């Protein structure tokens, strides 16, 4: 069976994104969002366990939502109100239930990027 992992790298400070709340949603055919899991990144910017695995790991469209604004505020970064980036939402598809999907997030207060990692 496949599984989903993620991690956050803070490119503005050159370090892992620690203690960032992450929420995973399954997107329905009507575009509704079903909350699947909430977790927190660890000291290495990773989640301690896969975000999605087992029989819950199914083909479909998902969103990972990262609370990056609160992370930067805790670091003492002055952000405008509202922050340019507060919650970063990544929508992606899982097409193969047998594969490992890794969706990392690289952040700064004013930009982000992602890719399908290994």
Domain ranges of the chain: 3-114
Distance CA 104, CA 9 (A): 8
Domain 3-114: which topology?
A: Immunoglobulin-like (2.60.40)
Structure tokens given for 70: 């609160």
| Backbone phi and psi for residue 71, each to the nearest 5 degrees, phi listed first | -60, -50
Tell me the per-residue pLDDT of 49-92, one tens digit each, with 9 for 90 and over. Answer: 999 999 999 999 999 999 999 999 999 999 999 999 999 999 99
Mean pLDDT of the chain: 97
79 in Cβ contact with 69 (< 8 Å):
yes
Indicate if the pLDDT at residue 118 is higher than 90: no
Strand 60-67 versus strand 21-27 pairing type: antiparallel
Say what the pTM is. 0.95
Edge-first strand order for the sheet with 60-67 is: 33-40, 21-27, 60-67, 87-94
């Amino acid at each position: 069976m496949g599984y989903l992992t993620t991690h956050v790298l803070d490119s503005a400070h050159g370090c892992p994104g620690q203690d960032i709340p992450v929420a995973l949603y399954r997107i329905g055919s009507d575009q509704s969002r079903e909350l699947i899991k909430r977790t927190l990144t660890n000291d290495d910017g990773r989640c301690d366990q896969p975000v999605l695995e087992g029989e819950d790991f199914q083909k479909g469209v998902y969103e990972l939502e990262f609370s990056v604004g609160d992370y930067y505020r805790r670091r003492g970064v002055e952000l405008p109100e509202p922050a340019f980036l507060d919650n970063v939402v990544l929508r992606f598809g899982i097409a193969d239930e047998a594969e490992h999907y890794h969706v990392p997030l690289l952040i700064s207060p004013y930009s982000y990027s992602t890719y399908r990692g290994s």
